Amino acid sequence: MQNITVLSGGMGGARFLQGLLHAIATGRLPGAGPDAAVTVVANTADDIWVHGLKVCPDLDTVMYTLGDGIDLERGWGRRDETWSVKTELAAYGVEPTWFGLGDRDIATHLVRTQMLDAGFPLSQVTEALCNRWQPGVRLLPMTDDRVETHVAIADPESPSGRRVVHFQEYWVRLRAAVPAETVVVVGLDEATPGPGVIDAITDADLVILPPSNPVVSVGTILGVPRVREALVATRAPVVGLSPIVGGTHVRGMAEQMLTSIGVEVSAAGVGLHYGARSDGGVLDGWLVDERDADQVDRVRAGGIACRAVPLMMTDHDATAAMAAAAAELARG
């Protein structure tokens, strides 16, 4: 297994990637040598323009995490961050005040926005930013086109009884505390896969869906035209790891998002939602947590190889073991 491709969101994906790289570096990934190369296709539907800056939360979380610049406690943004700009903007009363833009982080968004303004596509901008961070993976935005997830929530004051907010507003300002009625990914149907994305799937020896949000991270990547087809067609085995453990997400809001699209919030529910490749879906294998061992048979009955192993990313070793279990399952 020389070429490994991972379809990633932010925090869950980034932490998994740390473990995967650790497994490769320590010779613990079955079938892969120390020179195995990892390509990451990252979700960009969380992206937002704020104060004139283009912010790409999932790309940055992967880049900062693997480049050792992440704030470990928060799980997003830069370590040793200060918030002077945010405080000053709030003093001017400039909206949005709820979005956390740290001073160090702003430098990244300034570089990105300047390059976009100069006409570079997001993929080239990302490559340039990665020159500094050296994440140890090839980091590809799922698309260079503008795609933005919006969430419909109830609003009794609106004539339609509902209101649509940007995904970041739902997550950061509303803390996903109100039910999501629908998820609308603006621009997705017209998006073109970013350079290298389709080849990364087609030419891979192994494709992994990490424990990322199945709706607003992996789901949006799968929604980019031709990506799902590439997964169905690739010769590489496709293996996923459940972000749902014991009937709930570990962190984040996968529960709210799954509910909004009518998918059962369980490890088996998500695996069967992705579906078996032999049956028009995208998975050959699915890992569930030990706590969900009773769901293995249901997943297998859906035509997907399945095993129960510990799926908590508590440290690099535990996460490396998860990556190893994924590679093992892929080898059959």
Distances (CA, A) of 265 to 166, 185, 236: 23, 21, 28
- Biggest CA-to-CA distance, the chain: 60
Q: Least separation, in Å, of the C-beta of 313 and Ca ion? A: 16
State how beta strands 244-245 and 248-249 pair. Answer: antiparallel
Distances (CA, A) of 269 to 27, 263, 296: 33, 6, 11
Which string of x and - marks every residue 10-29 that binds Ca ion (by CB under 5 A)? x-------------------
Taking CB under 6 A as the binding criterion, the range among 116-124, 152-160, 197-205, 248-256 that sits at the site for ligand GDP is 248-256
Q: Which residues ranging from 16 to 75 are in contact with ligand GDP (CB under 6 A)?
A: 58, 61
Give the residue with the Cβ less far from ligand GDP, 3 or 61: 61
Note the Cα 242 to chain centre separation in Å.
13
Q: State which of residues 243, 269, 281, 302 lies at the interface with ligand GDP (CB under 6 A).
A: 243
Residue pair 41/143 in contact (Cβ under 8 Å)? The answer is no
Alpha carbons 102 and 111: distance in angstroms, whole number: 14
266 binds, among Ca ion, ligand GDP, none (CB under 5 to 8 A by kind): none
Q: Least separation, in Å, of the C-beta of 19 and ligand GDP? A: 10
Q: Which residues ranging from 300 to 329 are in contact with ligand GDP (CB under 6 A)?
A: 311-313
Q: Least separation, in Å, of the C-beta of 291 and ligand GDP? A: 10
With b meaning 16 or more CB within 10 Å and e meaning fewer, what string describes 95-129? Answer: eeeebbbbebbbebbeebbebbeeebbbbebbbeb
Give the residue with the Cβ less far from Ca ion, 147 or 329: 147
State how beta strands 148-154 and 162-166 pair. Answer: antiparallel
Q: Which residues pair with 309 in a beta bridge?
A: 289
Residue pair 164/150 in contact (Cβ under 8 Å)? The answer is yes
Q: Least separation, in Å, of the C-beta of 321 and ligand GDP? A: 12
Alpha carbons 162 and 175: distance in angstroms, whole number: 18
Taking CB under 5 A as the binding criterion, the range among 1-9, 71-79, 118-126, 158-166 that sits at the site for Ca ion is 1-9
Q: Least separation, in Å, of the C-beta of 61 and ligand GDP? A: 6
Q: Is 254 in the site for ligand GDP (CB under 6 A)?
A: yes
Q: Is 46 in the site for Ca ion (CB under 5 A)?
A: yes
Q: Is 135 in the site for ligand GDP (CB under 6 A)?
A: no
Q: Give contact residues for ligand GDP (rule: CB under 6 A).
A: 8-13, 58, 61, 211-213, 217, 242-243, 245, 249-252, 254, 311-313
Q: Give contact residues for Ca ion (rule: CB under 5 A).
A: 9-10, 46, 58
